[in-house]
Structure 1
Amino acid sequence: MTITQNIRTNTRVIRASYANKNRVTQAQFRIETEEIDLNSVKPGGIILRNLYLSLDPYVRLTLDSEGSEATAPMRILNVPFYGLGVAEVVASGTDKYPVGTLITANTGYEKYTVFEYADNPYNFIRVLPAHARDESTGVGLYNYVSALGMPGLTALAGLRVMGVEAGKTIFVGSAAGGVGQLVGQLAKAQGLHVIGSAGSEEKVNYVVTKLGFDSAFNYKTETTRTALARLAPKGIDYFYDTIGGETLETVVDLINEKGHILSIGMLSQENGKEGYPIRNLNLLAPKGATIHGFIYYHHLNYFGELDETVRPLLERGEIEYKQQVFDGIENAPEHFINMLDGKYAGKVAIKISDL
């Protein structure tokens, strides 16, 4: 058992109140500090010094007072928010994770996170490869919460789940987002015709000129139905759906026979927006089309393939990945709100500390 003796000040972002059907504001967050004694690590536990934190739309669900029983532990008030982060083990009560180990895990929105039992499966611990420390190739450690982390895994595994085939057409929602931008590039590399949607002309131009999508449209100025009739007159075979709502309903109308829809999120119904009833699901059976529900932690076995295939592409500059990394855990609420409001393109992360 390895223990580092030290007292540290821990800055934490606390869930202060629910937003429910309203837009998320600063009122939902509170910044607090506490002292952490690194000598207090328990047998089987670890203490983490958090380095980077991923800001993700799914955390919006924790600001609803009501939800499924499964999400209840994530919605408790007056405790820190949790999200995926890159961290270094600074105190350890288990030989499995010695001091100095770099991991990604379900860390707190805080400088230090205590896992009383490291092997709790809900910690989602992934030990990073030794080369993760090597930033000399231009691949920063923050990529392990983006292109080499959960967004990258979601993109890679999602395409595998749908079983995409060369020569067919895929429509990617939120094409300029942290997942969508990688989905489009990986799909192009596999020989698909790729169409994307984004929320501004700047983002549309980015996904076509920088990411190599075959075409894209601005969903704020053109309906999905009109755009897809123009860009995919023979229909679409795959829909990588981060949007849900009316867009999903339109795609159910337009999806080709034996098509596949991958549902990874419902951005159109987050941040207090009303749910949208899909009225045409009866079309799926006669088309033989399939909707796949997707959550990344069912597909952790793809992490090895992700690091082996995508990291070299990043090193060689063969994949473009737009992300914004902001400094300071105390600034996480501001950037989380801006992310939900669509003010950022690409992946958003917070740098908490240097390695």
Structure 2
Amino acid sequence: MAQSNTLLANTRIIRASYANKSRVTNNQFRIETHQDVDLQSVKPGEIILRNLYLSLDPYVRFSLDETGGDLPLEYRKLNDIFYGLGIAEVVASGVPKYPIGTLVSGSIGYENFTRLTGLDDPNTQSDLRILPPHARDESTGVPLSNYISALGMPGLTAFSGLKMLGVEKGKTIFVGSAAGGVGQLVGQLAKIQGLTVIGSAGTDEKVAYLVKTQHFDGAFNYKTDDAREALLRLAPQGIDYYYDTVGGEILDLVLELINEKGKILSVGMVSQENGSESYPIRNLKLIARRGVSILGFIYWHHLQYFENGELDATVRPLLEQKKVNYREEVFAGIENTPEHFINMLDGKYAGKVVIKIADL
């Protein structure tokens, strides 16, 4: 995209009000468009990004809490723009490391264009990742959007989370929220490694897709099925590993059913988000009684798998060879972000939810 003297229009999604303990609605969002992007105004240490894809992730819900939550106050200010993970092209640059035309992924605004500053300051913390040249090549069946899904943060979370658990062939893993952006890849990678894989999802369609298309050994609908009965039926040999993105009541149940010396990876607690009250875990005494390990996971502790190329080298060939079937829901238009963010939190979509902002 060539530089010009023309100011470009930028549509932004603004945080209009807090949801706090309530369900997120359209009241939390405001859409603004300003003709104010000047590509020739970039200064040393700055870049301007033309945003291509935006990832919709449950953690952004914390930015709608006035107090508390896991995000710093600077990401929770009213009348300010939302930020999330995305893919973008550098269209103006004052940083030699990021020449014009570079594809990157990292934190971007919910907007058409994002200006990042201070990138020449060694003290500036940035999660910006330069994508490999082959990310542009979609002819092998791997879309660019996969670099914020199977080859992005969800992929890193699935890949490195299984490494943390130290999974062994022949054991059984239960994956919570298995139809989501992380869970679907956890299950398929675990299956490739020789494990028996059980998952839960929120609709019968998602359950069928997990078993028929993504090769899970079994799955159940946590909204309509009795979870205890389903886990006893699908995993009669017991559960050795629980990949937990749900928390709450299902975590309490797994503590009852998990095998001795079992391992639980705590990645998130989606059941406690979007205004839900915290669930009091009652079976904590079983951790000691059975020698269970609970490991806390934060994805930015594992960025080395981006940096050394191991995630890309391992997972991309599986996608190309169709050994992994990764499900994305891609919707067009930055202005439609609020609707799809709300629907994502309400569990209305299957797979990873992505907003396509512009063509490459």
What's the TM-score bracket when you normalise by the shorter of the two chains?
over 0.9
Residues 123 and 279 from structure 1, CA distance in 2 versus in 1: closer, same or farther, beyond 3 angstroms? same
Residues 301 and 6 from structure 1, CA distance in 2 versus in 1: closer, same or farther, beyond 3 angstroms? farther
CA separation in 1, counterparts of 2:28 and 2:216? 37
Residue 146 (structure 2) aligns with: 143
Residue 219 (structure 2) aligns with: 216
- My pick for the range that moved more, 278-287 or 127-136, is 278-287
Q: Conserved in 1, the CA contact under 8 Å of 2:118 and 2:124?
A: no
Residue 85 (structure 1) aligns with: 86
- My pick for the range that moved more, 124-133 or 72-81, is 72-81
CA separation in 2, counterparts of 1:255 and 1:121? 43
Report the AA paired with residue 80 of structure 1. Answer: I
- My pick for the range that moved more, 118-127 or 249-258, is 118-127
CA separation in 2, counterparts of 1:266 and 1:81? 21
| TM-score scaled by length of structure 1 | 0.96
Residue 50 (structure 1) aligns with: 51
3-state SS, counterpart of residue 177 of structure 1: coil
Cα deviation, residue 218, structure 1: 0.8
Matched, 1:341 2:346: yes
CA separation in 2, counterparts of 1:263 and 1:320? 24
Q: Deviations over 1:304-323 (max 9, x none)?
A: 11111111111122211111
Residue 99 (structure 1) aligns with: 100
CA separation in 2, counterparts of 1:96 and 1:44? 10
Cα deviation, residue 118, structure 1: 2.6
Residue 31 (structure 2) aligns with: 31
CA separation in 2, counterparts of 1:90 and 1:316? 33
CA separation in 2, counterparts of 1:37 and 1:265? 39
Residue 320 (structure 2) aligns with: 315
Matched, 1:195 2:198: yes
Residue 254 (structure 1) aligns with: 257
Residue 131 (structure 1) aligns with: 134
CA separation in 2, counterparts of 1:152 and 1:329? 24
Q: Conserved in 1, the CA contact under 8 Å of 2:85 and 2:105?
A: yes
3-state SS, counterpart of residue 257 of structure 1: strand
3-state SS, counterpart of residue 261 of structure 2: strand
3-state SS, counterpart of residue 280 of structure 1: coil
Residue 12 (structure 1) aligns with: 12
Cα deviation, residue 3, structure 1: 7.4
Residue 159 (structure 1) aligns with: 162
CA separation in 2, counterparts of 1:165 and 1:4? 56
Q: Conserved in 1, the CA contact under 8 Å of 2:202 and 2:221?
A: yes
CA separation in 2, counterparts of 1:234 and 1:314? 31
3-state SS, counterpart of residue 335 of structure 2: helix
Residue 359 (structure 2) aligns with: 354
Q: Conserved in 1, the CA contact under 8 Å of 2:243 and 2:264?
A: yes
- My pick for the range that moved more, 277-286 or 102-111, is 277-286
3-state SS, counterpart of residue 246 of structure 2: coil
CA separation in 1, counterparts of 2:180 and 2:70? 29
CA separation in 1, counterparts of 2:84 and 2:258? 34
Residues 268 and 70 from structure 1, CA distance in 2 versus in 1: closer, same or farther, beyond 3 angstroms? closer
Name the count of aligned residue pairs. Answer: 354
3-state SS, counterpart of residue 72 of structure 2: helix
Cα deviation, residue 168, structure 1: 0.4
Q: Deviations over 1:70-94 (max 9, x none)?
A: 5322211111110000001111111
- Structure 1 unaligned blocks of 5 or more: none
CA separation in 1, counterparts of 2:110 and 2:358? 13
Matched, 1:232 2:238: no
Cα deviation, residue 233, structure 1: 2.3
| TM-score scaled by length of structure 2 | 0.95
Cα deviation, residue 37, structure 1: 1.4
- Structure 2 unaligned blocks of 5 or more: none
Cα deviation, residue 279, structure 1: 1.8
Q: Conserved in 1, the CA contact under 8 Å of 2:327 and 2:352?
A: yes
3-state SS, counterpart of residue 123 of structure 1: coil
Query: What is the root-mean-square deviation of aligned Cα atoms in Å?
Result: 1.6
Report the AA paired with residue 285 of structure 1. Answer: A
Q: Conserved in 2, the CA contact under 8 Å of 1:104 and 1:145?
A: yes
Cα deviation, residue 121, structure 1: 5.5
Residues 69 and 315 from structure 1, CA distance in 2 versus in 1: closer, same or farther, beyond 3 angstroms? closer
Residues 257 and 6 from structure 1, CA distance in 2 versus in 1: closer, same or farther, beyond 3 angstroms? farther
Cα deviation, residue 66, structure 1: 1.1
CA separation in 2, counterparts of 1:184 and 1:307? 18
3-state SS, counterpart of residue 315 of structure 2: helix
CA separation in 1, counterparts of 2:143 and 2:124? 27
Q: Deviations over 1:26-79 (max 9, x none)?
A: 110000122111222221111111000001111111111111575322211111
